[in-house]
Amino acid sequence: MRNPPSPRRPAYEATTRGFTVRVRPQYLPDQSDPERSRYVWAYTVEIENRGEASAQIVSRHWIITDARNRVGEVNGEGVVGEQPTLKAGEAFRYTSSCPLTTPSGAMRGSYQMLGESGETFDIEIPEFSLHLPDATRRMN
């Protein structure tokens, strides 16, 4: 069962080759320490196969930009220690987190997929904003 979209937690969505990626970020004040320039966000990702062919999530590539336009990249196998295969109509959901040293930023990226015919292809992770709930939304 899907949860209805929360007005405080917007969903960001992109579809590539029949795979829809939805992301919902949420600020974690209990894990953050603004006095020490530590701001932590959780983000829940749902990857849904709306196509007809199965594919496996092989790896991920994240591009993380903070409010000072400093860019960091993260590459790794699978997602949260798994490399799930999504059959037609299936979805995979996970939650992870990202710390920043600024009170706002953005993330985007891609998943590398392995299709059932052996080909690899990338699907887009839509860019999503990381902003304090009551902060002005502005990137420098």
- Return the pLDDT at 2: 39
DSSP-assigned letter for residue 69: -
Once rounded to an integer, what is the mean pLDDT over residues 13-35? Answer: 97
Confidence of residue 132 (pLDDT cuts 50, 70, 90): confident
The CATH number that domain 12-128 falls under is 2.60.40.1470
pLDDT of residue 9: 58
Nearest-angstrom CA–CA distance, 78 and 76: 6
Strands (E), 6-119: 12-16, 19-27, 39-49, 55-66, 71-77, 85-86, 91-100, 104-115
3-state secondary structure of 113: strand
| pLDDT for res 138 | 47
Q: Pick the range with the lowest mean pLDDT from 4-13, 84-93, 128-137.
A: 4-13
3-state DSSP helix/strand/coil percent for the chain, to nearest 5? Answer: 5, 60, 35
